[in-house]
Amino acid sequence: MSLSTTQKITYSLVLIGLTIIVTVPDVVFGFIMEIFHLLFELVFILFEWLESTLDHLVEHLFHTDLHTTQIIVFYLILTLFAYPAFYLWQKLNKLCAYLKDSAGYCQDQLSYLKADTGFYWQGLPWLDRAKVFAIVLGSLYLASFFFM
């Protein structure tokens, strides 16, 4: 099998990424949390900018006092966010219906996997069972160093 240059680069980057995740999971987790914090902070700053801009526009256009301006801006922002929220609600309803329909298929596959694993385990000799048990225990022991 001959891989193209793009595939080689892709596989190399995936391997490097997996190596980084396995060797320093705390740094990767901290980096991901910092990215989420940055995104939420940007959303907050954009919301405050929108609110401040609407406050100044309403106050300038309609010559209203502070309380009236705040009420008008509140309902403007509520109106601006109502349509995307309604659109998201419709999409989530469709997604939930799809997941509900596919849950039966997943349960069938899970029961097949359980039965297949049970048959495999029953067919193993005692020595192979001990090997599998030792591998699982060793893996859990090594994983405890990364996550504890």
76 lies in some domain? no
Residues 90 and 118 in one domain: yes
Residue 127 sits at the vertex; the CA angle it makes with 122 and 129, to the nearest 5 degrees, is: 40
Residues 54 and 108 in one domain: no
Can you read off the two tokens belonging to residue 122? 């029953």
Residues 2 and 42 in one domain: yes
Averaged pLDDT for residues 110-135: 90
Domain that holds residue 96: 82-147
What does the pLDDT look like over 20-74, one tens digit per residue? 988 898 999 999 999 999 999 999 999 999 999 999 999 999 999 999 999 999 9
pLDDT over threshold 80, residue 148: no
73 lies in some domain? no
Enumerate residues 6+ apart whose C-beta is below 8 A from 59.
Answer: 66, 69
Phi/psi at 24 (nearest 5 deg)? -135, 70
Residues 142 and 94 in one domain: yes
pLDDT band at 1 (very low <50, low <70, confident <90, very high): low
pLDDT band at 9 (very low <50, low <70, confident <90, very high): very high
What does the pLDDT look like over 64-111, one tens digit per residue? 999 999 999 999 999 999 999 999 999 999 998 888 888 877 788 888
Residues 88 and 136 in one domain: yes
Backbone angle region of 24, left / alpha / beta, with phi > 0 → left and psi within -120 to 50 → alpha: beta
Q: Of 33, 63, 93, which residue sits at a domain end?
A: 63
The pLDDT assigned to 144 comes to: 85
Q: Check: CB of residue 56 under 8 Å from CB of residue 69.
A: no
